[in-house]
Structure 1
């Protein structure tokens, strides 16, 4: 199963790489050095939909570190990279974590590891505002037909 998940994650990332440029352009900012930056929520939601489309049960996960007023973190939440916890979203399916945007933190472009990998710690809730949650869902729906064509499923 891990090999199949790696293949699917790699295909999804290849599809999304030009989409990330479109998203950054639409946001009006300059393109980041690492195109996956700030796309983990949408990208992970897309991977969930792609996996479910082929019959694999998948769940969207997120973690946003909390900070005290003094600055230190209050427990491990998110993705641990560069000595600190980062806000992040990823997918869990079939006992694996699937992450196609961790390269924004200097990690590999595609990660598929058993759940329980200590770099990942799920938060208790999605902290995004409702408008951002809706935008994430709409962004995935807007590219879905392109994905089906890309995969030869239309």
Structure 2
């Protein structure tokens, strides 16, 4: 594992730890049923948008990637078939970062080669309103991320 990939793995885990309380709040606000498999279920788009913004702010060339089996054989490949999903692709080092793969029974944080066969890129099939909401949430999260380690008087 290269030094940069190891740094990305560490950052990805930090971001996941930061996001977990937000996911719980999102589920409460949405009135999500208690039958979720994991806390990360249904959070991949907002989480990936935030991670992508954070990576770009740190100088990485990154993009959010989505796949929906409605449009093609794409998304995240499970034993049951393709599932709709979102993740981040980093150009250098060329890799995928997935903060929410545990909703499919995989590890909670995955940093893997960009040609990992579990990931199939498609298109973002979300409606315009949901895309705008995703970006709004990512900006709000960035503000909270920056504040998390700020001295008490600097907030």
- Normalised to the residue count of structure 1, the TM-score between the two structures is 0.88
Q: How far did 1:57 drift?
A: 1.2
Structure 1's consecutive aligned runs of 4 or more residues displaced over 3 angstroms after TM superposition are 151-154
2:125 paired residue number: 127
1:149 paired residue number: 147
2:96 paired residue number: 97
State the aligned residue count: 146
Unaligned runs of 5+ in 1: 68-74
Q: How far did 1:152 drift?
A: 4.5
CA contact (8 A) 1:76 1:121 kept: yes
Q: How far did 1:65 drift?
A: 0.5
- Aligned with 1:116: secondary structure? coil
RMSD: 1.7
CA distance in 2, matches of 1:24, 1:103: 16
Unaligned runs of 5+ in 2: none
1:81 paired residue number: 78
Q: Residue deviations 1:25-57, cap 9 Å, x none?
A: 111223434110000000000100111111111
